[in-house]
Amino acid sequence: MARPVFDEYSGKYKNIKLDRTADGILKVQLHTAGESVLWGFGPHEELGFCFQDVSADPENKVVILTGTGEAFIDRENLGGSNVTPQFWANILQNVVRLMRANLDIEAPMIAAVNGPATIHAEQALMCDIVLAADHAYFQDAPHFPSGLVPGDGVQLVLNAVLGLNRARYFMLTGQRISAQEALALGVVNEVMPAKDLLPRAYELARMILKRAPLVVRYARPCMVAELKRQVQSHLEYAAALEGLAGVDLWPAEFE
């Protein structure tokens, strides 16, 4: 199978801007029309396919995942959908693709959380280094607080980074954790003013690239192997429960 060519996939995605430096640092930037991303079924599907392209291209040496403007992901529109078996079958495919494709990326990943991460914060927290702007905060707003089971992978990642008891409290209460609290808990690695976030991410990426190419390439698969095993074992079952419970209550609009 032919390897993907950057020029062929870099412009494919409506809600994802891809930029790559000459030394192979790929910036994956979420957006909607150049503003902070409006999350929904489209971006959810796109990001999984995008990560598949990224993972299949060995010219991506280090990946920086970030948002646009003042937020990482903090707004969403899933309104008006009814949960039918076919509808949730499509969602389940997207859920599995997104989580597995993230973990299939062999290049080290750096999250530059440029603002509030209240929706799919796990995508940032799955990265190997997590940097946060000082005004950022973390929350799982669209699941239990909005009437949904947190079953699409967020529960696995939060259990890993927060610990079981803190994660369950976080998900059931809709707790917000500030960037500084996240730093103290070990959820993020560094906190800084937003203007310094991307320069620091590129600085760390270039530090990583000083190692031998195969050392860089195969460090991440070793580090995420346990999380990958958990995703493989538990994701589809939990996402199916999320869909089952969604039949009982599917909010018309998420805030």
Which domains, ranges and CATH numbers included, belong to the chain? 6-248 (3.90.226.10)
Partners of 140 in the β-ladder: none
Ordered DSSP codes for 28-85? EEE-BTTBS--BSHHHHHHHHHHHHHHHH-TT--EEEEE-BTTBSB--B--TT----H
Q: Taking a C-beta distance cutoff of 8 angstroms, is the pair 64, 202 a contact?
A: yes
Whether pTM > 0.85 for this model: the answer is: yes
Give the per-residue pLDDT at 79. 66
Give the per-residue pLDDT at 208. 98
So which residues are the catalytic ones?
122
Instruction: List the pLDDT tens digit at each of the 255 positions of the chain.
Output: 667 889 999 999 999 999 999 999 999 999 999 999 999 999 999 999 999 999 999 999 999 999 999 999 999 987 656 667 788 889 999 999 999 999 999 999 999 999 999 999 999 999 999 999 999 999 999 999 988 999 999 999 999 999 999 999 999 999 999 999 999 999 999 999 999 999 999 999 999 999 999 999 999 999 999 999 999 999 999 999 998 888 776 654 433
Give the per-residue pLDDT at 251. 52
Give the per-residue pLDDT at 254. 38
CA distance 123 to 98: 9
